[in-house]
Amino acid sequence: MERLPGFRDFYPEPLPPTKDELWSMDARNHVFSAWRSVARRYGFREYDGPPLEPLELYTNKSGEEIVGQLFNFEDKGGRLVALRPEMTPTLARMAAAHEHAYKKPLKWFSVPQLFRYEKQQKGRKREHFQFNADIVGESDPAADAELIALLIDSLRALGLGEQDFVVRLSSRGAWQQFVERRAIPPEKAYGFFQIVDKLERERPAVTTQKLAELGVTLAELESFISSGEPTPELRAILDNLAARGLAAFVRLDYRVIRGLAYYTGPVFEAFDIKGEFRAIAGGGRYDQLLKQVSGGKVDLPALGFGMGDVVLTELLKSRGLIPRFTAGLRAYVLIEDETLRRESLAVVQRLRDAGVAVDYPLTPTKSDKQFKRALELAAASTVRLERGDDGTVQSRVKDLTTRTEWIVGRDEVLACLKAEAV
Amino acid sequence: MERLPGFRDFYPEPLPPTKDELWSMDARNHVFSAWRSVARRYGFREYDGPPLEPLELYTNKSGEEIVGQLFNFEDKGGRLVALRPEMTPTLARMAAAHEHAYKKPLKWFSVPQLFRYEKQQKGRKREHFQFNADIVGESDPAADAELIALLIDSLRALGLGEQDFVVRLSSRGAWQQFVERRAIPPEKAYGFFQIVDKLERERPAVTTQKLAELGVTLAELESFISSGEPTPELRAILDNLAARGLAAFVRLDYRVIRGLAYYTGPVFEAFDIKGEFRAIAGGGRYDQLLKQVSGGKVDLPALGFGMGDVVLTELLKSRGLIPRFTAGLRAYVLIEDETLRRESLAVVQRLRDAGVAVDYPLTPTKSDKQFKRALELAAASTVRLERGDDGTVQSRVKDLTTRTEWIVGRDEVLACLKAEAV
């Protein structure tokens, strides 16, 4: 039996050599751990919602593309439900429900698994994990800068530098002004944004034709993009990031507009400099979404970004930034004298009680096979109980890197391992 | 808009006072972190599979009850799929696919979210997270003992002791022998196991009647249960646990049989001693499942347990074993002189770069409100840049517990916070 197409299995390292596309659980934990630790450093608090939500949380809020790609169905109670394709509507729902009890601004993050029924192609899965960070209740561009700084630092924490990625900063608001100046009818604004969003991927002839229906030429679009004049709020964001010493990681680029319908202000996307991969992360302001999701009850400005694990992991791999992982064993307890098995189990238990990672042969095993196993598991040391000449039980502790050996009393193994670790 | 019934929202602490049932994300992380750290201490490696699997992975393998409660549907490609109701079939699928590349025994764990469409009642959700640990490729009862020791130590790591819980140990094999001795037809064996499984929850009259159809009396069942004679493999497990000093945490109890169809040998469940809650964890041997899932290609003995987060968290709460959580901020940077905002941002950035958790007011804020915010966020210290008499910028670092204050150079804040932490 096989897993569903577009879904991933995460195995412990070292990964088997196979044609099957396997993902590393250890690498996933490495990335998640960087996300969480940087978010906490920024004072963000973690939250989570259900992976299954009412379908109507997404319809008409996220834009047509995402809704057409939902994993949606009717549950056994006749409810129309969907696997979450993105986290922002859940965040908006949760924040709207209980924001009154939290001091503003909320700085919240989450690492949800998200689902889309997409056509399959390289790097396009039907699920991925996404680091989501949002700030709710602050309209000042200082919040946008804080969020973008978090995005930059989460990538830096994984070893990526300004030679690897850049955040392209733009503004849905600036494009909204363009729409108004050009008198594009309001109901066609989102369609126009989607043309801009696809600009870099679409053939110019197609774009030209689509724009013509709105009375705009491709030259006018490109002229606006190359004007490169930041709006006052974009200027404030750039200044703020410069004060943090992060100016090299961000540049103004009006080609970015974001595909989702709900953005209202500054928007941004992070890309690898070489342009080998799809966007690493993207986000922006969605000042109307909480009001919309709460049926008008809660009206708070908000902004956020999402960073998926698939593109990021591919980028990290290509830069040699994923370490090798092992079981991280501090010691492997060899049991060569089976009359000492019970006492060896007691030593294993005592070490584990003290927080030390330990493994041992579950059943009687030849001496050389045990030692080989200790090496395969990359244990730092071996521990072996043995009877001394006077019949008392002693422990032989061996450092597998230096091959130094100590003989200590049965109760001194922990102290010996700790001393050795220093 | 509201979340679906039976699903949970996890909020950051302190949780809002509300009638809505909210869960603590911080408490969830606390529990997950204990699970992961004890599993690693035992040499278990983490894996994960997709939350959505082919429906046929569950049909006829898990038992009727679980299959009737699936969240299943047809996807847009016409595939019959289901949200995973338990992890063992996924583990069996993944292990069967790539076991040849890993040394046996595999010791693997996972913390999946699982889904069942159940009738709603207290403590019965439609999703929960479950700590799953499995050993694949070892038939000796030493593996069962290692697994049960891990179960016991994961609960001990959260502060629970022998006054709080006990593991009831039984054997599907022993019940299988009962079935054979009583000549219950093989095709009715699973039905019989379900009667035993429901023994403690069902009215005796109903049980008696169901048993009668199989030619067994309730007295015979109770006599077998109270015989209390361990099978040789249960004896080996009990001895092994005793050698680790864990005898007080386990007792023989044939009333346990486990509801799932695939168990073959020793089975066990952990309960709170006072009997206030449903089972905390349960598991056992399923030596035939890999063969079944792999279509006969891989035939490896295996065993595992699952421990859900819902009952466990309720138990921990009732014992006062869930700590209080805050944002864990090391410092709050006060910005009282707005001409020093840019320099303050640089200090914030430098501290965060060094791994220190820091927050600050995003926008100009009254001095007393800033200080109040630092206290609300439970920051350990405040840091404030100010101009000295000679015009140079200096930093005032204040320990919010002792109220001690230091005045240091702008570049010495990190060193000061580190020294203070000692």
- Beta-carbon separation of A4 and B79 below 8 A: yes
Total count of domains within chain B? 2
pLDDT for the residue numbered A67: 79
Interval A59-84: pLDDT, tens: 877 776 777 899 999 999 999 999 99
- Beta-carbon separation of B25 and A46 below 8 A: yes
Chain B hits for A16, CB-CB cut-off 8 Å, are: 98, 100-102
Contact B26, B105 (CB under 8 A): no
Best mutation site among B29, B352, B371 for testing chain A: the one with the most A CBs within 10 Å? B352
Single pTM value for the model = 0.96
Q: How many CA atoms lie within 13 A of B353 on its CB side?
A: 14
User: In sequence order, what DSSP letters do the residues of B272-337 get, joined into one string?
Assistant: ETT--SS-SEEEEE-TTHHHHHTTTS----EEEEEEEHHHHHHHHHHTT-S-------SEEEE--S
Q: Is residue A324 part of a domain?
A: no
Locate A93 and state its tokens.
């729902």
What residues make up the domain containing B362?
A: 331-421
In a shared domain, residues B280 and B409: no
- Which residues 77-106 on chain B approach chain A with CB closer than 8 angstroms? 77, 79, 81, 83, 93-94, 97-98, 100-103, 105
Residue B347 reports pLDDT greater than 60: yes
Interval B284-294: pLDDT, tens: 999 999 998 88
Q: Which of B36, B63, B46 is nearest to B262 (CA)?
A: B63
Q: Which of B149, B170, B174 is nearest to B251 (CA)?
A: B170
Interval B297-314: pLDDT, tens: 899 999 999 999 999 999
Give mean pLDDT, residues B190-207: 92
CB-based contact, A363 to chain B, within 8 Å = yes
Locate A251 and state its tokens.
């540049």
Torsion angle in degrees (nearest 10) through CA of B165, B168, B169, B172? -140
Chain B hits for A98, CB-CB cut-off 8 Å, are: 11, 16, 18, 20, 22
Chain A hits for B20, CB-CB cut-off 8 Å, are: 97-98
Which residue on chain A is closest to B39 by alpha carbon?
A: A357
Residue B376 reports pLDDT greater than 80: yes
Which residue on chain A is closest to B33 by alpha carbon?
A: A33
In a shared domain, residues A249 and A292: yes
In a shared domain, residues B402 and B375: yes
Please state, rounded to an integer, the average pLDDT across all residues of chain A.
Answer: 94
CB-based contact, A205 to chain B, within 8 Å = no
pLDDT for the residue numbered A422: 54
Q: Report the distance separating Cα B27 and Cα B24, nearest Å.
A: 5
Q: Is residue A4 part of a domain?
A: no
Contact A303, A284 (CB under 8 A): yes
Burial zone of A135 (CB within 10 Å; 0-12 exposed, 13-18 middle, 19+ buried): buried
Please state, rounded to an integer, the average pLDDT across all residues of chain B.
Answer: 94
Residue B119 reports pLDDT greater than 80: no
Interval A303-332: pLDDT, tens: 999 999 999 999 999 999 999 999 999 999
In a shared domain, residues B287 and B141: yes
pLDDT band at residue A228, thresholds of 50, 70 and 90?
confident
- Beta-carbon separation of B25 and A40 below 8 A: no
In a shared domain, residues A312 and A338: no
Amino acid at A418: K
In a shared domain, residues A245 and A394: no
CB-based contact, B140 to chain A, within 8 Å = yes
Residue B96 reports pLDDT greater than 80: yes
Best mutation site among A106, A297, A343, A352 for testing chain B: the one with the most B CBs within 10 Å? A352
In a shared domain, residues B108 and B230: yes
Contact A223, A217 (CB under 8 A): no
pLDDT for the residue numbered A148: 98
Q: Is residue A239 part of a domain?
A: yes
pLDDT for the residue numbered A122: 62
Which of A3, A57, A341 has the CB atom closest to B50's CB atom?
A3
Q: Is residue A211 part of a domain?
A: yes
In a shared domain, residues B282 and B353: no
Interval A93-110: pLDDT, tens: 999 999 999 999 999 999
Give mean pLDDT, residues B113-134: 88
pLDDT for the residue numbered B421: 66
In a shared domain, residues A280 and A352: no
B216: distance to nearest CA of chain A, Å? 37
| Bridge partners, A393 (sequence order) | A387
**Entry field: residues in chain B:** 422
Q: Could you give the percent of chain B with pLDDT greater than 90?
A: 87
CB-based contact, A312 to chain B, within 8 Å = no
Q: Is residue A410 part of a domain?
A: yes
| Bridge partners, A216 (sequence order) | none
Q: Is residue A144 part of a domain?
A: yes
Locate B241 and state its tokens.
């646990």
Q: Which of A123, A140, A106, A97 is nearest to A21 (CA)?
A: A123
Q: Which of B265, B295, B318 is the last residue of a domain?
A: B318
- Beta-carbon separation of B12 and A47 below 8 A: yes
Locate A157 and state its tokens.
């924490």
Peptide bond into B17 cis (omega under 30): no
CA distances from A234 to A171, A309, B170, B197 (A): 8, 28, 67, 65
In a shared domain, residues B273 and B161: yes
A17: distance to nearest CA of chain B, Å? 8
Chain A hits for B295, CB-CB cut-off 8 Å, are: 1
CB-based contact, A20 to chain B, within 8 Å = yes
Q: Which of A122, A182, A177, A168 is nearest to A305 (CA)?
A: A168
Q: Which of A90, A84, A88, A87 is nearest to A72 (CA)?
A: A84
pLDDT for the residue numbered B82: 97
Locate B345 and state its tokens.
């941002």
Peptide bond into B204 cis (omega under 30): no
Q: Which of A93, A27, A24 is nearest to A56 (CA)?
A: A93
Best mutation site among A2, A76, A115 for testing chain B: the one with the most B CBs within 10 Å? A76
Residue ranges of E strands in B316-370: 331-334, 358-359
Q: Could you give the percent of chain A with pLDDT greater than 70?
A: 98
Contact A56, A175 (CB under 8 A): no
Contact A281, A318 (CB under 8 A): no
Residue B8 reports pLDDT greater than 90: yes
Which residue on chain A is closest to B377 by alpha carbon?
A: A43
Interval A378-420: pLDDT, tens: 999 999 999 988 889 999 999 999 999 999 988 899 999 988 7
Q: Which of A318, A349, A370 is the last residue of a domain?
A: A318
pLDDT for the residue numbered B260: 83
In a shared domain, residues B290 and B368: no
CA distances from B260 to A58, B88, B197, B304 (A): 37, 11, 10, 12
Chain A hits for B103, CB-CB cut-off 8 Å, are: 373, 376
pLDDT for the residue numbered A317: 96
Cβ atoms < 10 Å from Cβ of B305 = 25
Task: Mark out the alpha helices in B228-280 (DSSP H runs).
Answer: 232-243
Q: ipTM more than 0.90?
A: yes
CB-based contact, A53 to chain B, within 8 Å = yes
Peptide bond into A361 cis (omega under 30): no
Residue A123 reports pLDDT greater than 60: no
Domain CATH number, residue B384: 3.40.50.800
Domain CATH number, residue A272: 3.30.930.10
Which residue on chain B is closest to A376 by alpha carbon?
A: B103
CA distances from B246 to A159, B233, B272, B290 (A): 44, 17, 16, 30
Cβ atoms < 10 Å from Cβ of B220 = 13
Q: Report the distance separating Cα A4 and Cα B80, nearest Å.
A: 10
pLDDT for the residue numbered B420: 75
CA B302, B305, B310 angle in degrees (round to 5)?
160
Q: Which of B47, B151, B22 is nearest to B97 (CA)?
A: B47
Contact B234, B266 (CB under 8 A): yes
pLDDT band at residue B123, thresholds of 50, 70 and 90?
low
Residue A288 reports pLDDT greater than 70: yes
Q: Which of B318, B350, B365 is the last residue of a domain?
A: B318
pLDDT for the residue numbered A353: 97
Q: Which of B106, B136, B97, B300 is nearest to A16 (CA)?
A: B97
pLDDT for the residue numbered B52: 98
In a shared domain, residues B406 and B258: no
Q: Is residue B5 part of a domain?
A: no
CB-based contact, B400 to chain A, within 8 Å = no
Contact B125, B7 (CB under 8 A): yes
Contact A150, B353 (CB under 8 A): no
Q: Is residue A1 part of a domain?
A: no
Q: What are the two backbone dihedrals, phi and then psi, of residue B378, each rounded to the nearest 5 degrees? A: 55, 35
Which of B20, B56, B117 has the CB atom closest to A75's CB atom?
B117
Find how far residue A401's CA is from the centre of its chain. 35
Q: Which of B359, B345, B364, B21 is nearest to A106 (CA)?
A: B359
Contact A326, A13 (CB under 8 A): yes
Helix (H, G, I), strand (E, B) or coil at B221: helix
Find how far residue B151's CA is from the centre of its chain. 10
- Beta-carbon separation of B102 and A16 below 8 A: yes
pLDDT band at residue B164, thresholds of 50, 70 and 90?
very high
Q: What are the two backbone dihedrals, phi and then psi, of residue B336, each rounded to the nearest 5 degrees? A: -95, -25
Residue A51 DSSP one-character state: S
Owner of token pair 């008392």: A392
